[in-house]
Amino acid sequence: PTPKPTPNPTPKPISTPTTSPHQCGNALCELSENAANCPIDCSSKEIETTYEFNLGSSGNMFVVKARRNIVVSSFAINSKSRGVGAVKIYTRAGSYTNHEQSRDGWELVYENDSVINNRRGVVTELGFLDREIHIAKDRSQSFFVTSTNGLVYKGGEKEFSVYQSDEGMEIMEGIGTEGEFEGITYSPRVWSGTIWYNVVEATSSPSKSLTKLPSKSPSVSSHTSKPTSHPTPSKPTPIPTSSPTRLPTPHPTPKPTPNPTPKPISTPTTSPHQCGNALCELSENAANCPIDCSSKEIETTYEFNLGSSGNMFVVKARRNIVVSSFAINSKSRGVGAVKIYTRAGSYTNHEQSRDGWELVYENDSVINNRRGVVTELGFLDREIHIAKDRSQSFFVTSTNGLVYKGGEKEFSVYQSDEGMEIMEGIGTEGEFEGITYSPRVWSGTIWYNVVEATSSPSKSLTKLPSKSPSVSSHTSKPTSHPTPSKPTPIPTSSPTRLPTPHPTPKPTP
């Protein structure tokens, strides 16, 4: 025996490591493996495209090509807006080309009216399909995912090019859709989501499980001159074949182009509105285009290098908007109390006094995430209406603290979209007391709707009876502009709806 073993026992690496039947457990479903003989590698496979986005509409169509015999079982989506909504998934064998405007040949394999959608960029899992979709090796299958809450996604480079793949499947770039088998389409688009599937053994007749369609190429004539020799095995179409589609397109073409927009439109706002392009245009609002104008989300940043107990900052409306919800960047994890105050106009000279501020959110049991991770607060106790070109101040404070970035100039615009501008503000210590730090960039997210102008938008900014309440401890003279909605539950002996628990005889300016 060798008294000292050689450090390199194999002088030459083995060039064919797969000489064994399979290497189950290496996270790769090899050619000799499947869900039956190696479930750890070949079952519940997960393939994700991307959760980055810059566009959105009501749905996506795209093609999946199987590289092995696979069974698709579940989806996750990237929702455009949070809350409960309806999601449907249709499928058909082969490509969706020339089938974008017709239900014929599509099978509904998932329908749920009560999907709880997460915010944009966060996975919304749908659970199992109503039936699994078998796709044989080298076959293609189209999917159409549509949601009443909308979907967000990225623009692509070339329709039908491979965007994502693994050992089991390829996911192609597809199109964005408006409506369910009607309306305009956008190409190319990258569906944003996740697919779960199993790799299975080949069957004796895999093609039978692809779809329930009786014919691969249905008649293109306006009526059937001769009955098909392969009638539909499930149930006949509810509308006779005197019409080629169940929902005729409002502007039919003899042969629709698979890429209706060869070049992006440089001036999209020349028409009344182009609902579904992820931009709430001037002619649109939450009533006539909810997919673009409701549950709008604007984020400053979740980067941070500073922190304190709270932030004050100003929002300026670029449209008539209604603010409904916030998310924050907490300084420490765990359960804590969060409050949000608001007032019309600037917070300048109001940093140290509760007068004129309205408490619109209070929750003593917020479950705070770690720093840099979104902590959603849910809906405000009441929505905040801000008229176009008006400013509204917000004061967010947390017992767990907030983290944020240092700014460049207080009241300069840090982030904006078509609906609002968020200004750089200040960091605060204590609740209307203590030192402040300027400039600071509040770290968080605001959700809002773009709404139609009201006859008197300024009245909806706040429920405060007076724009400049008295600084004395009581109201010597009633305001000349009482609250238009309902009287304050506390008499005007106190200047605010929620009097301070620690009044001062003379508030500091």
Q: Tell me if 139 sits within 8 A of 133, measured CB to CB.
A: no
Distance CA 49, CA 123 (A): 12
What would the pLDDT profile of 464-476 be if each residue is shown by its tens digit?
333 333 333 344 3
What is residue 237's predicted lDDT score, i.e. its pLDDT? Answer: 39
Whether the full predicted model's pTM is greater than 0.75, yes or no, is no
What is residue 4's predicted lDDT score, i.e. its pLDDT? Answer: 58
What would the pLDDT profile of 359-373 be if each residue is shown by its tens digit?
999 999 999 999 999
- The span from the first CA to the last CA of the chain, in angstroms, equals 91
Distance CA 369, CA 390 (A): 33
What would the pLDDT profile of 210-231 be if each residue is shown by its tens digit?
333 333 334 333 344 344 444 4
Distance CA 42, CA 44 (A): 7
Tell whether the torsion through CA atoms of 276, 278, 282 and 288 is positive or negative: positive
What is residue 21's predicted lDDT score, i.e. its pLDDT? Answer: 53
What is residue 98's predicted lDDT score, i.e. its pLDDT? Answer: 96
What is residue 5's predicted lDDT score, i.e. its pLDDT? Answer: 56
Q: Who contacts 253 (Cβ-Cβ below 8 Å, separation ≥6)?
A: none
Residues in the chain, pLDDT under 70: 1-22, 203-273, 454-509
What is residue 275's predicted lDDT score, i.e. its pLDDT? Answer: 85
Q: Who contacts 479 (Cβ-Cβ below 8 Å, separation ≥6)?
A: 465, 466, 469, 492
AA letter at 302: Y
What is residue 451's predicted lDDT score, i.e. its pLDDT? Answer: 96
What is residue 7's predicted lDDT score, i.e. its pLDDT? Answer: 53
Q: What are the strands, taking DSSP E only, across 118-190?
A: 124-135, 140-155, 162-165, 169-172, 174-177, 185-190
Helix ranges restricted to H, 167-325: 290-293
What is residue 13's predicted lDDT score, i.e. its pLDDT? Answer: 53
Tokens of 68: 């092995």
Between the alpha carbon of residue 132 and those of residues 74, 128, 196, the distances in Å are: 8, 8, 11
Between the alpha carbon of residue 400 and those of residues 233, 324, 328, 403, 404, the distances in Å are: 62, 22, 11, 10, 13
What would the pLDDT profile of 112-128 be if each residue is shown by its tens digit?
999 999 989 999 999 99
Tokens of 444: 């968080």
